[in-house]
């Protein structure tokens, strides 16, 4: 049981360690986020939505300690779905060949706020307004999928139907961002300028140089209320906290099985030590006879340790076989590591055999120090 639990814990710890070091595609340091869903019928008018967020960005941008501010309809690793079917100009327009990609709506400073790199082309600017040409920015994943070996800049994407096309021109390609979960590959995504395709429920993102970004919450909330007292401000947290919540379940699973594994390890160690000590105490007379007949201390030590290790090796072997079969059930909980990872299996086997060796050595060494005369008199 100790072998199986330790291997399970080892795999989860390895997986969790890798998951924490996954590149989300953004720099989350010192960024405060909050959701500002617009309420009321007046926001059914896209112009009112644009006006609200334009004014909000202008107000928040001048607050002390704010270095950048942006809005978006999705945060990285939010596990939400917001995808559309798109059609590439010049490719056959059939439902089977549609490409599914995430639709992210942002303000111009979004990429700079999150430090998302520009691969080619340009970012959005204030000139990308409701009256200008409809433009898109796509990520690397969509560029690889839809435009292999072709420069996508200037290409057009149809967001409408074949009979009623809605063409958008690609003006830039940016790095991938993981919008679903950190454990999955970055999905294809395209970005709309919020001025051209507004969303009534957006996250406000505030980049700051202040050590504690949360200290800006009251000031930002006041600016929202000054524009519209009916607009709620919810889900206030730093972007680092938001990304950390994506690994909350893996962290809980890892912690739980690790605790059980450590308890099993302690019990196994105590059990081996107890069994060997009990066995040796009942063999004191035999040990005395062996030593009286000329057996060396090292021979007695090796005999006792060898007999104890035989049991340990058999147990570890059975445990490894059982773990090899059972850990396959954990593959859906692992990230970046195989369910039969040989390093983990080898490390656990070595650890337990080392502990077994120590547990056997202590009573064996004590037995070799017994005076043969006293041992012969032992009942």
Q: pLDDT digit string (tens) for 241-295?
A: 888 877 777 888 888 888 888 888 888 888 877 877 777 776 667 777 777 777 7
Task: Please indicate, yes or no, if residue 256 is contained in any of the structural domains.
Answer: yes
Structure pTM?
Answer: 0.74
Residue at which a domain ends, from 225, 245, 265: 245
Provide the 3-class DSSP secondary structure of residue 281.
helix
Q: Are residues 69 and 150 in the same domain?
A: yes
Q: Indicate if the pLDDT at residue 182 is higher than 90.
A: no
Whether 33 and 360 have beta carbons less than 8 Å apart is answered as no
Residue at which a domain ends, from 245, 267, 297: 245
Q: Each residue of 197-214: b (16+ CB within 10 Å) or e?
A: bbbbebbbbbbbeeeebe
Structure tokens at 304: 């006792």
Q: pLDDT digit string (tens) for 71-101?
A: 999 898 876 666 677 788 776 544 445 688 8
Q: What is the pLDDT of residue 95?
A: 44
Q: Are residues 323 and 237 in the same domain?
A: no
Task: Please indicate, yes or no, if residue 77 is contained in any of the structural domains.
Answer: yes
Domain count, the chain: 2
Q: Is residue 79 exposed (0-12), middle (13-18) or buried (19+ Cβ within 10 Å)?
A: exposed
Rounded CA Rg of the chain: 32
Q: What is the mean pLDDT of the chain?
A: 86
Q: What is the pLDDT of residue 242?
A: 87
Please report which helix (H) or strand (E) contains residue 304, including its range: helix 297-326
CA dist., res. 36 & res. 221, Å (int): 10
Q: What is the pLDDT of residue 334?
A: 84
Task: Please indicate, yes or no, if residue 184 is contained in any of the structural domains.
Answer: yes
User: In angstroms, what CA-CA distances link 227 with 37, 38, 39, 44?
Assistant: 13, 11, 12, 17
Q: pLDDT digit string (tens) for 206-249?
A: 999 998 999 999 999 999 999 999 999 999 999 988 888 777 77
Q: Are residues 225 and 260 in the same domain?
A: no
Could you give the percent of the chain with pLDDT greater than 70? 92
* Domain of residue 157, residue span: 23-245
Q: pLDDT digit string (tens) for 302-350?
A: 888 888 888 888 989 999 999 998 888 888 888 888 888 999 999 999 9
Q: Are residues 148 and 280 in the same domain?
A: no
Q: Are residues 99 and 225 in the same domain?
A: yes
């Amino acid at each position: 049981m100790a072998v199986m639990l330790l291997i399970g814990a080892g795999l989860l710890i390895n997986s969790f360690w890798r998951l924490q070091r996954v590149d989300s595609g953004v720099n989350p340091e010192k960024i405060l986020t909050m959701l500002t869903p617009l309420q009321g019928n007046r926001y059914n008018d896209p112009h009112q939505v644009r006006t609200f967020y334009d004014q909000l960005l202008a107000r928040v941008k001048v607050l002390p300690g704010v270095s950048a501010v942006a809005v978006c309809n999705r945060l990285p690793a939010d596990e939400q779905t917001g995808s559309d079917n798109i059609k590439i100009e010049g490719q056959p327009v059939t439902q089977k060949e549609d490409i599914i990609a995430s639709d992210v709506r942002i303000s111009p400073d979004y990429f700079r706020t999150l430090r998302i790199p520009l691969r080619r082309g340009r970012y959005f600017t204030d000139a990308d307004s409701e009256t200008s040409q409809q433009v898109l920015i796509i990520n690397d994943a969509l560029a690889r999928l839809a435009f292999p070996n072709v420069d996508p800049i200037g290409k057009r994407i149809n967001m409408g139907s074949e009979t009623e096309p809605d063409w958008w021109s690609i003006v830039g390609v940016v790095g991938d961002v993981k919008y679903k979960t950190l454990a999955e590959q970055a999905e294809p995504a395209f970005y709309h300028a919020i001025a051209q395709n507004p969303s009534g429920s957006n996250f406000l993102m505030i980049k700051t140089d202040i050590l504690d970004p949360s200290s800006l919450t009251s000031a930002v909330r006041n600016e929202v209320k000054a524009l519209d007292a009916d607009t709620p401000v919810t889900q206030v947290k730093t972007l680092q906290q938001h990304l950390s919540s994506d690994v909350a379940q893996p962290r809980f699973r890892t912690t739980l099985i690790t605790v059980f594994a450590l308890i099993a390890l302690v019990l196994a160690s105590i059990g081996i030590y107890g069994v060997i000590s009990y066995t040796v105490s009942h063999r004191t007379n035999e040990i005395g006879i062996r030593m009286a007949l000329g057996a060396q201390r090292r021979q007695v030590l090796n005999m006792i340790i060898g007999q104890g290790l035989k049991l340990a090796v058999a147990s570890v072997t059975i445990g490894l076989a059982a773990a090899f079969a059972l850990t396959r059930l954990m593959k859906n909980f692992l990230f970046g590591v195989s369910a039969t990872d040989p390093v983990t299996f080898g490390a656990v086997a070595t650890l337990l055999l080392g502990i077994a060796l120590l547990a056997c050595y202590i009573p064996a060494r004590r037995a070799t120090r017994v005076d043969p005369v006293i041992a012969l008199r032992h009942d």
